[in-house]
Amino acid sequence: MALDQGKPVSRYLDVVGVEKSFKGTRVMSDMNFRVNRGELVSLLGPSGCGKSTLLRIVAGLLEADDGSVVLDGRDITRIPAHKRNVSVVFQNYALFPHLTVAENVAFGLRARGMAKGDTGAPVAEALSLVRMTEFADRPIAALSGGQQQRVAVARALVVGPDLLLLDEPFSALDRKLRETMQVELKSLLLDRGITAIFVTHDQEEAMGVSDRIAVMNSGRIEQFADPSTLYARPTSPFVMDFVGLST
Ligand code: ADP
Ligand code: MG
């Protein structure tokens, strides 16, 4: 996998002045959001606050009405999703149930034109990263939820993405498994120096995995800080409430 390692921290993703309306209803205005290289940043906020909208705009799955998205110095605002080298992991896995684990992971490589005979090594490496090597030939339908989500992460990483986006990836899993997956994901991303945005509505999850957290409310970022600063110096009652300080 062509994953970057050990690069110095620098501004990497720049979302500038993004606006978005659905059928005339403004859900996001003048959104500005920056992520440094190698960071794991969470978007944390209640349901409907615009987390997925922002993530989909960064992925290219949704077009902003205004504003721009710059990734590693390249303006990707008008670049279609499949040409962005940005991988997305969704809550509901979106795997092909009739294909094997290895075939699912190879899919992204094949879609990018890699010959079938060349996918073996990168697929094996990606499966090893998520500790799913021995499941390579099993059909997806035979796996547990946690195993399926590991495969989804492997499929996202195998292409060596410039940016990994995760939209509530573990929210369908039970609490114990969710905590295991959080720890695994964090060390995986840290080891490989991968820049990632993690969407969640669960403040404990955000506090556990993130270098920094953007607390969102009604299409805006209320506060963007590291977890300890959010706890120590929340800048609004909303943030105070959402990080669980007001009870
Ligand atoms: P979150 O991911 O934080 O739960 P979303 O980004 O999905 O929030 O949604 C933000 C707002 O935009 C919500 O009010 C939601 O109803 C609205 N919205 C999202 N997608 C669409 C869509 N395709 N059509 C109409 N409204 C949408
Ligand atoms: Mg969402």
- The pLDDT tens digits for 93-121 are 689 988 999 999 999 899 888 999 999 99
CA 141/CA 165 separation, integer angstroms: 24
How far is ligand 2, taken at its centre, from the CA of residue 122, in Å? 30
- Residue 219 alpha carbon, nearest atom of ligand 1: 10
Question: What does pTM read for this prediction?
Answer: 0.92
How far is ligand 1, taken at its centre, from the CA of residue 94, in Å? 20
| Protein residue with least CA distance to atom 6, ligand 1 | 50
Residues lining ligand 1, CB < 6 A?
22, 27, 45, 47-53
ipTM score over 0.95, yes or no: yes
CA 93/CA 153 separation, integer angstroms: 9
In percent, the amount of the chain with pLDDT more than 90 equals: 75
DSSP code string of 109-173: HHHTT--GGGSHHHHHHHHHHTT-GGGTTSBGGGS-HHHHHHHHHHHHHTT--SEEEEESTTTTS
Given a cut of 90, is residue 4 above it in pLDDT? Answer: no
Given a cut of 70, is residue 129 above it in pLDDT? Answer: yes
Q: Which ligand is nearest to the CA of 44?
A: 1
Q: Which ligand is nearest to the CA of 20?
A: 1
Per-residue pLDDT, 247: 44
The 10s digit of each residue's pLDDT in 140-175 is 999 998 899 999 999 999 999 999 999 999 888 888
Name the CA radius of gyration of the chain, rounded. Answer: 18
More confident residue, 33 or 82: 33
Per-residue pLDDT, 10: 66
